[in-house]
């Protein structure tokens, strides 16, 4: 059975500071052009079946999208493929922005 954990923006913020993770934005290119959460990589939901092997090496994988619906599908898919510690950000970037968290340009997203 595939399972994943729903997390709030405050939990994601704490995790980003304390746990190694792969943060995955599954929105479309035009949405990502407006900004991405710092540290995230961009894999559009439609391409996830082709690129999920990138996720299997991560200890924790957190998915997000615009509102949380597409990322829930991504989280269920990754979990069904054997990824461990899979999370979905409730409310997506809408909740992230409402909580006052910043975004960066896509090219700056995965620089660490």
Q: Over the stretch 40-61, which tens digit does the pLDDT of each residue have?
A: 999 999 999 999 888 888 999 9
Determine how β-strand 22-25 pairs with β-strand 86-89. Answer: unpaired
Per-residue confidence (pLDDT) for residue 106, from 0 to 100: 83
* Nearest Cα residue to 53 out of 18, 25, 80, 78: 78
Catalytic position from the list 21, 32, 61, 65: 65
**Overall pTM > 0.75:** yes
The predicted-structure confidence for 70-84, as pLDDT tens digits, reads as follows 999 999 999 999 898
Distance CA 106, CA 60 (A): 21
Where would I find the H helices in 55-105? 69-80, 92-98
Band of pLDDT at residue 107, cut at 50, 70 and 90: confident
Is 83 known to be catalytic?
Answer: no
CB within 8 A of 13, min separation 6: which ones?
Answer: 99, 101
Q: pLDDT tier at 111 (50, 70, 90 boundaries)?
A: very low
For residue 68, the 8-state DSSP code is S
Residue 51, both tokens: 């690129």
Domains of the chain: 5-101 (3.40.250.10)
Q: What integer pLDDT is reported at residue 57 of this predicted model?
A: 87
């Amino acid at each position: 059975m595939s399972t994943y954990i729903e997390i709030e923006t405050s939990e994601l913020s704490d995790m980003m500071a304390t746990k190694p993770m792969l943060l995955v934005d599954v929105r479309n290119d035009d949405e990502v052009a407006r900004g991405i959460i710092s540290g995230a990589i961009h894999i559009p939901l439609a391409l996830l079946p082709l690129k999920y092997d990138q996720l299997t090496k991560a200890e924790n994988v957190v998915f997000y999208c615009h509102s949380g619906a597409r990322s829930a599908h991504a989280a269920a898919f990754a979990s069904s493929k054997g990824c461990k510690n899979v999370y979905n950000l409730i409310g997506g970037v809408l909740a992230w922005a409402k909580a006052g968290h910043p975004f960066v340009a896509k090219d700056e997203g995965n620089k660490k």
